[in-house]
Structure 1
Amino acid sequence: MQTILDELTWRGLVVQTSGREALGTALADGPISLYCGFDPTAASLHVGHLTQVLTMRRFQLAGHRPYALVGGATGLIGDPRMSGERVLNDESIVAGWVDSLRGQISRFLDLEGASGVQMVNNLDWIGQMSALQFLRDVGKHYRMGTMLAKETVARRLASDEGISYTEFSYQVLQGIDFLELYRRHGVSLQFGGNDQWGNLISGVDLIHKVEGKDAHALTTPLVTKADGTKFGKSEGGAVWLDPELTSPYAFHQFWLNAADADVVNYLRYFTFRDQEDIAELERATHEEPHRRRAQKALADDLTTLVHGAGATRQAEAAAAVLFGRGEVRELEEPTLEAIARELTTVDLPGTTALVDAFTAVGIMTSKSQVRRAAAEGSLTVNGEKMDAETIERSLSEAVSPLPGGHVLVRRGRKAAAMVRLDG
């Protein structure tokens, strides 16, 4: 029988451990309690966070009990980063982000039963700690040489900007988190991205010094694209889990556009397909790359997981419409808004003649071109062909708008744009 550590290993989700044999024994003797932390630096998680959220789910499915920590305290400080000092956000903003992230994380995990996830906030204990307690009870266990040797700290110290004591102290706060969860709930494993290794070991060492007990740490890979560029970034920025920030259509397209060199790893990291299924999709990628079976499986699985099966169907229907194959009237308003962000979109009053609408969106440059195209039968509006007589009428007369006042205008299959009716 494959253990959870074996599964994480074949999926490529284990980079470092504080001791593989000891961790394997603890998991085999389990169930154990474990945790992963998420700092509220925005109102939503992005796809980069899925590595940790879904790894937590895998532990849960194996019978272990996860604690999801959303850092109401550490989110006010910020983990040191290579690019420089973070902006400190207002406490009320961070508190709102904490609530948002807790809701997002809980959607992926079971909330009931012996393995039900427990949501915790480190503001509950760090917020109660005085400066003297911090220094006497915790600070005395940390050695400056070790703290200064951390890669991010060392590089920031060598930079022109340097590093503030605020950010420098972050690794101590994360150590406190592990110690408190160990004391309160018997949590014995912390995992996170490989860039968090120093912070994870901070807690392992603190538990050993204060409690005289052993704890465990495990890191997952930092996901990048095969070309070395950052994972989870599109031209518009991060790919968010919140559908208001990244539409289900754009989310589906992000995974659908995964490179052949990346897609099999993404299937291992982010889906719950088994080894045999992923091996078959890998074979298909090598033998029939044009069919993009692996990319479609990845996009469908993750869009359904994050947004639901209905959103996946809408994303597929939107893609069909954009390629001139689907029925636009089947789309709901949020999906039409997503399409509008992909196309040239112009707001026009309903009194605008159709012939002028085609030039306003840039599909053609003159009315004479529009009239010739109508005579040829190559113009459609919301999927219906427009003849030479109809294009002289106003939008409000000739067109039944889609939800949200959207009007999809198209010349042939390739040239498309969106009009939004004013008022």
Structure 2
Amino acid sequence: MTQAYESDLLRLLDERGHIHQVTDPGALDALANKQVVTGYVGFDPTAPSLHIGNLASIMLLRRLQQAGHRPIVIMGGGTAKVGDPSGKDETRQLLTEERLASNIEGIKGSFERILRFDDSETGALLINNDDWLSELGYIELLRDVGPHFTINRMLTFDSVKLRLEREQPLSFLEFNYMIMQAYDFLVLARDYDCRLQLGGSDQWGNIVNGIELNRRIDGREVYGVTAPLITRADGAKMGKSVDGAIWLNEDALAAYDFWQYWRNTDDRDVSKFLRLFTDLPLDEIARLEALEGAQINDAKIVLANEVTKLVRGDDAAKTAEATARETFAGGGAGEDLPTIAVGAEGMRVGAVLTELGFTVSNGEAKRKLAEGAVKLDGETISDPGYVIAPGDGETLKLSLGKKKHGLVTR
């Protein structure tokens, strides 16, 4: 049962399932009901693409903008030089300035599709925290910010406590991450009148630190909202599949594979994902979640189309659905399937499976072949020595089980 909020912001976040914790919900609700609130989420550019685990946080900013408020995307060009220890068992690999800059360029497009960037009062901003963090002098940081943090308190936060309990090393570098993130909130509040930080539930401690730092140094009241950790019904964390991360960028994961991930959603997750990751009206979601039996597949197709449209665009969603329809319903081979060229000499079937990403190793490919799970143009292949050698201009369809299909050309 949702809480009775007055503001469009908290009401929208609540009814869509985005709220886990809120600091001072009454005060934030009142503030959002009377003025435009600027809020931010931070994203450390540790890879050239974000994945769907990040999509939940991007949707927080989208909801903020939909409710008439201003979102800020913080690119963690500074914090990524340290690495967030939250939920990690080991220290992140340190990235070079060049790699961080390249990653930021790679992930900008995802925000530009999902948020509206313009000069209006609610137009989104994209800001790199390296702009101020790299300008900080160490002594300056220690004197101005250090006195407001106690080691006793820092040791109580999960990001630190869990690492220590598991006897995993926590470097002094990482230990400073929460101070840097809190300082981000202080700068944003001063320079952009940013009153709200949003993030996943694992960011609660970091958000609280930023709130307390604003109060202690500037006497300013700011707020935090965290979203629940998004897990699938099978207990797996969002953003991963058996084949690896589900990337948002087209150059990291084909649109068909992205679409297919959502199409294969567990029946139990359809309702939750429609609320979290689409803009469909709640009454339409209620209609879809009431579908039973084989009809639930219609809701999954709607989910796959809506999320793909949001992240990749209309054309990507239409092409992916058409490919799926032709591949599964018509027995054909849609143009959007992953494709591999094996040359005139051909390639062993196990190597093709691994190159397509259907198996993680030749050993796994051999097991799948022995299980009879591999078909070439509808015919079962079990010999690991079988060489796939299409004729000139010929295209063959290679399938692993019922859900993985690819094209093999010369």
Alignment counterpart, residue 347 of structure 1, candidates 338, 342, 345: 342
Q: Does the residue aligned with 2:280 lie in a helix, a strand or coil?
A: coil
The alpha-carbon deviation at position 407 of structure 1 amounts to: 4.1
Q: Which amino acid aligns with 2:115?
A: L
Say yes or no: does 1:109 pair with 2:133.
Answer: no
The alpha-carbon deviation at position 310 of structure 1 amounts to: 1.6
Say yes or no: does 1:395 pair with 2:362.
Answer: no
Alignment counterpart, residue 64 of structure 1, candidates 46, 49, 69: 69
Distance in 2, Cα, partners of 1:40 & 1:179: 21
Q: Which runs of 5+ in 2 are unaligned?
A: 1-5, 354-374, 379-389
The alpha-carbon deviation at position 143 of structure 1 amounts to: 1.1
Structure 1 residues 409, 292: CA separation in 2 closer, same or farther (over 3 Å shift)?
Answer: closer
Distance in 2, Cα, partners of 1:263 & 1:108: 21
Say yes or no: does 1:28 pair with 2:33.
Answer: yes
Aligned to 1:236: 243
Aligned to 1:419: 408
Aligned to 1:175: 182
Counterpart contact for 1:70–1:102, Cα < 8 Å:
no
Distance in 2, Cα, partners of 1:100 & 1:183: 29
Map residues 124-273 of structure 1 onto 2, 5 A cutoff: 124-273=131-280
Q: Which runs of 4+ in 1 moved over 6 A?
A: 379-382, 413-417
Say yes or no: does 1:39 pair with 2:44.
Answer: yes
Identity of counterpart residues, as a percentage? 35
TM-score (ref. length: structure 1):
0.81
Aligned to 1:8: 13
Alignment counterpart, residue 325 of structure 1, candidates 322, 327, 330: 330
Counterpart contact for 1:39–1:70, Cα < 8 Å:
yes
Distance in 2, Cα, partners of 1:298 & 1:34: 27
Counterpart contact for 2:107–2:249, Cα < 8 Å:
no
Q: Does the residue aligned with 1:13 lie in a helix, a strand or coil?
A: coil
Structure 1 residues 295, 207: CA separation in 2 closer, same or farther (over 3 Å shift)?
Answer: same
Q: Which amino acid aligns with 2:56?
A: T
Structure 1 residues 165, 289: CA separation in 2 closer, same or farther (over 3 Å shift)?
Answer: same
Q: Which amino acid aligns with 1:395?
A: G
Aligned to 1:387: none
Counterpart contact for 2:288–2:296, Cα < 8 Å:
no
Counterpart contact for 1:43–1:101, Cα < 8 Å:
yes
Structure 1 residues 123, 381: CA separation in 2 closer, same or farther (over 3 Å shift)?
Answer: same
Aligned to 2:384: none
Alignment counterpart, residue 83 of structure 1, candidates 83, 86, 89: 89
Number of aligned residue pairs: give it. 369
Q: Does the residue aligned with 2:90 lie in a helix, a strand or coil?
A: coil
Aligned to 2:284: 277
Q: Which amino acid aligns with 2:109?
A: G
Counterpart contact for 1:190–1:216, Cα < 8 Å:
yes
Deviations along 1:293-346, one digit per CA (max 9) or x if unpaired, are 221111010111111222122212222333261664x72xxx24x2x4xxxx67
The alpha-carbon deviation at position 181 of structure 1 amounts to: 0.3
- Structure with max Cα Rg: 1
Q: Which amino acid aligns with 1:273?
A: L
Deviations along 1:322-380, one digit per CA (max 9) or x if unpaired, are 3261664x72xxx24x2x4xxxx672418x8xxx999x999xxxxxxxxxxxxxxxx99
TM-score (ref. length: structure 2):
0.83
Q: Does the residue aligned with 2:303 lie in a helix, a strand or coil?
A: helix
Structure 1 residues 243, 415: CA separation in 2 closer, same or farther (over 3 Å shift)?
Answer: closer
Structure 1 residues 67, 325: CA separation in 2 closer, same or farther (over 3 Å shift)?
Answer: same
Structure 1 residues 206, 291: CA separation in 2 closer, same or farther (over 3 Å shift)?
Answer: closer
Q: Which amino acid aligns with 1:67?
A: I
Counterpart contact for 1:317–1:326, Cα < 8 Å:
no
Aligned to 1:307: 312
Distance in 2, Cα, partners of 1:308 & 1:416: 23
Counterpart contact for 2:7–2:30, Cα < 8 Å:
no
Counterpart contact for 2:376–2:396, Cα < 8 Å:
no
Distance in 2, Cα, partners of 1:99 & 1:347: 33
Moved more, 316-325 or 32-41: 316-325
Counterpart contact for 1:40–1:70, Cα < 8 Å:
yes
Counterpart contact for 2:7–2:32, Cα < 8 Å:
no
Distance in 2, Cα, partners of 1:72 & 1:416: 38
Counterpart contact for 1:190–1:218, Cα < 8 Å:
yes
Q: Which runs of 5+ in 1 are unaligned?
A: 363-378, 383-393
Q: Which amino acid aligns with 1:98?
A: I
Distance in 2, Cα, partners of 1:361 & 1:130: 53
